[in-house]
Copies of this chain bind each other. A is one copy, B any other.
């Protein structure tokens, strides 16, 4: 997931947000979407993504639908009900995080 250490810990939040936005997506699609949105700046590695998806599925945050497209396997993931409410919390946490980081980096603007 790129060189910068900063992205550590944000992968699952990114995945959940994208699924909230797009209904359902498969792994490879997620990597391409993130690359596109961030104009190539953020590249999610498959070695990080697939285990993360499996973990979220095991936790009941995501559910999977396997399909065969062009003789190639695709695993579509979407948020469960639990996952949807969990995503609300994650996004609130992300907003707090960004706010806190901006308070530290730009103390003059925090009031």
Query: Which range holds the interface residue count of chain A?
Result: 20 to 34
- Please report whether the interface of chain A is mostly helix, strand, loop or mixed according to DSSP: helix
Is there an interface contact between A100 and B21, defined as CB atoms closer than 8 Å?
A: no
- In chain A between 1 and 50, which residues have their CB closer than 8 angstroms to a CB of chain B? 4-10, 12-14, 17-18, 21, 34, 37-38, 41-42
How many Å from the CB of A101 to the closest CB on chain B? 7
- Complex: A13 Cα to B8 Cα, angstroms: 13
What is the oligomeric copy number? 2
Is there an interface contact between B9 and A100, defined as CB atoms closer than 8 Å?
A: no
Closest to A100 in B: B38
- Complex: A49 Cα to B41 Cα, angstroms: 29
Q: Which residues of B contact A17 (CB under 8 A)?
A: 104-105
